[in-house]
Structure 1
């Protein structure tokens, strides 16, 4: 694997990370109500899911999922159901939330680090754009030869580092803007957007074709 290959991967992975998606929406929802630590818990979940995505791609299980219609459909619909479920919950919270202008204080029972980690892990694991990246694009960067597995996991490591840096910056930004982010009007707007985004990604995953 040449440095040109590595730099090309970093460029493509960076574009994937900074593009809008469920991960960023989850951070925006978590930090105002549960604090900075919970946001970093989300990130830890994101990173873990990257290694699982990478391991599946490297070991060839991803190819099996693409070639087996039944296996692909099961994974696809489970992921779509989860994303839509999160989206519907957010929309219901936006519609039935109390007070359009009342401030929303940090939750009396904020997310535990384990819950924040679990949400981050599941959201990134079932994120359709990440799934497609590791199914379609990642194999093109995988090296062949004696150190192929080690080189491939190095790419996964780089992807996880880019992800951690970007979303850590988001966590710090939202924690500094906590006064704005905790306003009732902003929270209801954010939950509505969150719901729409998660449902859209769920539908996108549900109609995804295995031919990719």
Structure 2
């Protein structure tokens, strides 16, 4: 695979990863309320979903999601419903004070690492926008001929590494603010903002056209 192709892919995926979206919102919510380990579990879920979408793209299933109106609509609405649901839950917690840790307690919540991993995975796996990226942009970077499949999975790995580096930096930055962020009023504000943003992403996703 030409180095030029790799650099181009790195540029495109870096912009994609760093652009505001549900992943960043989820990390911003998880780090101060559940700690670094849970946030890194979120990232693990992101990476798994990237490999899922990459595999579907390589196998051609993503084509079905874009060219089949029924399949696209089903996946789109499922993803929108998930984002809207976790946004609604965050808003509920913000108003009720449920899950708000005392200011003197460690940054803990009733969220296991498995649950955090699942949240990260579903945030990406149920988002047709990611499928559309892997359908529209991803194939353009895959060289034709022998070794195409291994090259494709190498690019997915590059995308995953960029994702891990970016969100790990974000987690470290947010965790340094954890003591201040443990404040109950701050957590309520964070949950409220998170809820509104996630619900907004859900509504935006529901109106997305292929």
Q: Distance in 1 between matches of 2:177 and 2:170?
A: 11
- CA deviations on 1:106-134 (whole Å, 9 max, x unpaired) are 46654211111111111122245433322
Q: How does 1:6-25 map to 2 (within 5 A)?
A: 6-25=6-25
Which moves more between the two structures, 31-40 or 48-57? 31-40
> Is the 1:104–1:184 contact (alpha carbons within 8 Å) kept by the matching residues of 2?
no
For residue 36 of structure 2, what is the aligned residue in structure 1?
Answer: 36
Structure 1 runs of 4+ off > 6 angstroms? none
> Is the 1:18–1:166 contact (alpha carbons within 8 Å) kept by the matching residues of 2?
yes
Does the C-alpha gap of structure 1 residues 56 and 180 become closer, same or farther in structure 2, counting only changes over 3 Å? same
Does the C-alpha gap of structure 1 residues 10 and 67 become closer, same or farther in structure 2, counting only changes over 3 Å? same
> Is the 1:22–1:127 contact (alpha carbons within 8 Å) kept by the matching residues of 2?
no
> Is the 1:77–1:206 contact (alpha carbons within 8 Å) kept by the matching residues of 2?
yes
Structure 1 unaligned regions, length at least 5:
none
> Is the 2:62–2:131 contact (alpha carbons within 8 Å) kept by the matching residues of 1?
no
State the TM-score, normalized to the length of structure 2.
Answer: 0.91
For residue 116 of structure 2, what is the aligned residue in structure 1?
Answer: 116
Does the C-alpha gap of structure 1 residues 181 and 131 become closer, same or farther in structure 2, counting only changes over 3 Å? farther
CA-based RMSD of the aligned residues comes to 1.9
Q: Distance in 2 between matches of 1:166 and 1:118?
A: 20
Q: How does 1:100-179 map to 2 (within 5 A)?
A: 103=103, 105-106=105-106, 109-127=109-127, 129-179=129-179
For residue 27 of structure 2, what is the aligned residue in structure 1?
Answer: 27
- CA deviations on 1:151-177 (whole Å, 9 max, x unpaired) are 111110000000011111111112211
Does the C-alpha gap of structure 1 residues 85 and 158 become closer, same or farther in structure 2, counting only changes over 3 Å? same
Q: Distance in 1 between matches of 2:49 and 2:87?
A: 20
**SS of residue in 2 equivalent to 1:20:** coil
> Is the 2:107–2:178 contact (alpha carbons within 8 Å) kept by the matching residues of 1?
no
> Is the 1:48–1:121 contact (alpha carbons within 8 Å) kept by the matching residues of 2?
yes
Which moves more between the two structures, 188-197 or 69-78? 188-197
**SS of residue in 1 equivalent to 2:137:** helix
State the TM-score, normalized to the length of structure 1.
Answer: 0.90
Q: Distance in 2 between matches of 1:118 and 1:155?
A: 23
* Offset of residue 93 of structure 1: 1.6
* Offset of residue 59 of structure 1: 0.8
Q: Distance in 1 between matches of 2:14 and 2:199?
A: 24
Asked whether 1:189 is paired with 2:189, we answer yes
